[in-house]
Every structure is written in structure tokens, then in C-alpha cells.
């Protein structure tokens, strides 16, 4: 059921022990929002704990209270009054949904979230779930400490590409400015978020060598198989390296995380990639979306590119001639 922010705050106020979670393959908004809300709830006397059913990329370990994040153990059960799901629909929280039978409150900014099976406060106009977290803190009359502000700012910064993407609104920048007044150090966050290990930089070389150009240059993709993926921790930022190509409307990263399990991330300059993701049982934003495909890398590439091409043609962004253009590949190893 769709509810208001005030109603969401009331449900939180009525609960004492609250479990917080976000989506698997967590990003800055997922981790920033859960850690911020955990601290907000504790500051008003609640028992709050974050569970994430996945590993978290090393550059988010700098966030305050990161070390308190737990991963659910096999068969673990937790007594709670409320399960608070942030930055995602309930079907993307992994095994966290199995550790408690508590009622679910979902707070999100993704337009594809329908709130099935829970109470949902959603605002698709917000640049990040952390925008909603800031407003939630005000609704709960909580003090925004420097640590809380740092977590919220991280979600805003990462989901807007450090305020470069089209989802950056005046309200987003206003909140960011207020967070800086609360004690945020933007340079610290940007330096940490942009950090890459040597292995990740080496991985980018492999990714660029796996580049394929589709539909006359309007779509570009990186395909990384399981054997390559085993060699590095994260592909964070890879897609941003190809999104900037001048002819490109849609860029995607297709990674084989394990045999017959492929993950897709998409970015665009004009096309609504949330429509593409929804066609493949995924979701996201107009300019950034993703999905999971339970098939081989070759099958996933074929299905994904056909879906992108057909929907771009339907949207008038691709001609039939461009759709039939031969695929070009890169080989930087030569």
C-alpha cells in the first residue's frame, strides 16, 4: 500500500526493534541510507540494526558505523517489530527477508517499485533514497550529526554522479549544502568513493578490450565472463568509462557472476533504460537501471541487445537500418 512520509514516520515511531536492509550488490545510496537511518533511529531511542546480504565494495567501508553491518547467517532468525527496506523493492534484499516475520515498511525512490506486499513510501522525483532519509530525519525530529550527514551525503553524491546526472535537482543541492553545514567533508567522500585498487584498474583494461559497439554506435556494451570476473572485486565505475562516448545513447555492463547468472547495469543519455530493465524483470531509473538474467553470457548478450534495439526503435531513437548494423568489437591488446 502506498503511504505518505508522515505515515511512514508514524509506523517507525510505533516500533521499537527495527531491522534495516537494502538491495544486494549495494551502492552508495543503499549503504548510506541504511547506516544513516540506523543512527537516526538509535538517536530517538530505537533498537536498530543493519543487515545486508552481500559483500560491500571497499570504498564504502569508510562510512561511519560501517563495521556494524551484519550479513544474515544460514537459518538465522531475529525478533523485530519492523523490517525497514531502503532503496529497493522487497524482492531484492536476498536472505534478509527470511530472518524476520515482522511487517515491512519500504522507503524508495525507484519509479519501478510498486510496493507489492508491504507499506511503501516512494518518491520517484527524489535523486536518491538518501534525499528521503534526510526528510525522514526532519519528520522524526532527529538531530543530523556529522556522521549521519556523511552517510546521507554519500547516497546523494553517488546516485547523482557527484551532482552531474540529470536527476540532480535544486532540492538535491539544497540538502547537500545543509549537510555540509552539518559537518560533511565533500572532498573526503569524493576521494574515498573514487578510490580503486590496482586490481580494479587492471580489470578495466580487460573490460575495455571486451567492448562491443552496436547499432551504428548508439549502444555500447562490456561483456565480462565468469573467469575474468573472478580476478577482481568490483566493476564499479566501469560503465561510466563508456557512457561518455559521443555517439552513445545507451551503455551497458554485462557481467557473468557465476555460471548462468548474469548481472546487467545500464546507463543512458536519453533513452528510458528503466523500460528496458522492466522488460527483463529488472528496474531502476530513467537514466540508470539494471536486471539479472539467469542464462549464459552469450544468451544474455543476445537477449539484452535485442531488447534494447527493439525498445529504442519503438521510442524513435533507432532506425531499422541502424538496428541491422553489424556489431564492432575492440581489441586493445594488439
pLDDT band at 334 (very low <50, low <70, confident <90, very high): very low
Q: Note whether 153 and 33 are within 8 A (CB).
A: no
> What residues contact 90, with CB distance under 8 A and at least 6 apart?
97, 104, 106, 116, 117, 118
Share of the chain above pLDDT 90, in %: 76
The Cα angle at residue 239 between residues 236 and 242, in degrees rounded to 5: 145
Average pLDDT over residues 126-146: 97
Domain assignment present for residue 91? The answer is yes
Note whether 15 and 153 are same-domain residues: yes
Average pLDDT over residues 151-159: 97
DSSP secondary structure string for all residues of 146-199: HHHHHHHHHHHHHHTTTTTSTT--HHHHHHHHHHHHTT--HHHHHHHHH---HH
Domain final residue, candidates 154, 169, 194: 194
> What residues contact 134, with CB distance under 8 A and at least 6 apart?
144, 152, 175, 178, 179
Domain final residue, candidates 137, 161, 194: 194
Note whether 231 and 291 are same-domain residues: yes
Note whether 175 and 237 are same-domain residues: no
Note whether 135 and 212 are same-domain residues: no
For residue 67, the domain's CATH number is: 3.90.1640.10
Note whether 183 and 268 are same-domain residues: no
Q: What pLDDT is stored for residue 333 in this prediction?
A: 44
Residue bearing cell 534526510: 134
**295 secondary structure, DSSP code:** S
Residue 136 has pLDDT above 50, yes or no: yes
Residue 279 has pLDDT above 50, yes or no: yes
Encode pLDDT of 216-259 as tens digits: 999 999 999 998 887 776 787 889 889 999 999 999 999 999 89
Note whether 184 and 139 are same-domain residues: yes
Q: Tell me which residue of 38, 124, 53, 128 sits closest to 84, measured CA to CA.
A: 38
Note whether 174 and 52 are same-domain residues: yes
Note whether 211 and 66 are same-domain residues: no
Q: Which of 68-72, 204-208, 280-284 holds the top average pLDDT?
A: 68-72
Note whether 187 and 203 are same-domain residues: no
pLDDT band at 309 (very low <50, low <70, confident <90, very high): very high
Domain assignment present for residue 55? The answer is yes
Domain assignment present for residue 310? The answer is yes
Domain final residue, candidates 134, 167, 194: 194
Encode pLDDT of 17-31 as tens digits: 999 999 988 999 999
Domain assignment present for residue 18? The answer is yes
Q: Note whether 53 and 74 are within 8 A (CB).
A: no
Domain assignment present for residue 334? The answer is no
Q: Note whether 163 and 172 are within 8 A (CB).
A: yes
259: phi then psi, degrees, rounded to nearest 5: -55, 130
Note whether 13 and 144 are same-domain residues: yes
Task: Indicate the number of domains in the chain.
Answer: 2
Q: Show the domain range for 9.
A: 5-194
For residue 231, the domain's CATH number is: 3.10.310.30
Note whether 176 and 306 are same-domain residues: no
pLDDT band at 11 (very low <50, low <70, confident <90, very high): very high
Note whether 152 and 287 are same-domain residues: no
Domain assignment present for residue 139? The answer is yes
Amino acid at each position: 500500500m502506498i503511504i505518505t512520509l508522515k505515515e511512514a514516520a508514524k509506523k517507525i515511531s510505533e516500533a521499537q526493534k527495527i531491522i534495516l536492509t537494502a538491495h544486494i550488490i549495494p551502492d552508495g545510496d543503499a549503504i548510506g541510507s541504511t547506516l544513516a537511518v540506523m543512527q537516526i533511529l538509535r538517536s530517538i531511542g530505537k533498537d536498530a540494526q543493519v543487515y545486508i546480504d552481500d559483500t560491500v565494495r571497499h570504498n564504502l567501508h569508510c562510512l561511519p558505523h560501517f563495521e556494524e553491518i551484519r550479513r544474515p547467517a544460514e537459518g538465522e532468525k531475529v525478533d523485530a517489530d519492523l523490517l525497514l527496506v531502503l532503496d529497493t523493492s522487497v524482492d531484492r534484499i536476498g536472505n534478509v527477508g527470511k530472518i524476520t516475520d515482522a511487517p515491512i515498511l519500504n522507503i524508495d525512490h525507484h519509479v519501478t517499485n510498486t510496493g507489492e506486499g508491504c507499506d511503501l513510501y516512494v518518491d520517484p522525483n527524489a535523486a536518491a533514497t538518501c534525499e528521503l532519509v534526510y526528510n525522514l530525519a526532519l519528520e522524526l525530529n532527529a538531530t543530523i550529526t556529522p556522521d549521519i550527514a556523511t552517510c546521507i551525503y554519500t547516497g546523494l553524491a553517488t546516485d547523482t554522479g557527484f551532482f552531474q546526472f540529470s536527476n540532480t535537482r535544486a532540492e538535491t543541492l539544497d540538502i547537500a549544502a545543509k549537510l555540509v553545514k552539518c559537518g560533511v567533508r565533500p572532498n573526503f567522500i569524493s576521494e574515498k568513493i573514487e578510490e580503486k585498487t590496482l586490481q580494479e584498474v587492471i580489470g578495466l583494461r580487460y573490460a575495455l578490450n571486451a567492448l562491443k559497439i552496436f547499432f551504428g554506435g548508439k549502444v555500447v556494451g562490456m561483456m565480462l565472463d565468469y573467469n575474468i570476473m573472478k580476478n577482481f572485486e568490483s566493476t564499479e565505475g566501469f560503465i561510466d568509462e563508456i557512457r561518455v562516448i559521443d555517439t552513445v545513447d545507451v551503455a551497458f555492463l554485462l557481467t557473468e557472476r557465476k555460471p548462468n547468472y548474469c548481472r546487467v547495469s545500464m546507463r543512458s543519455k536519453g533513452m528510458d533504460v528503466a523500460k528496458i530493465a522492466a522488460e527483463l524483470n529488472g528496474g531502476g531509473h530513467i537514466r540508470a537501471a539494471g536486471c539479472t538474467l539467469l542464462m549464459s553470457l552469450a544468451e544474455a548478450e543476445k537477449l539484452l541487445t535485442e531488447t534494447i534495439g527493439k525498445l529504442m526503435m519503438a521510442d524513435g531513437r533507432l532506425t531499422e537500418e541502424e538496428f541491422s548494423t553489424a556489431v564492432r568489437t575492440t581489441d586493445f591488446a594488439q
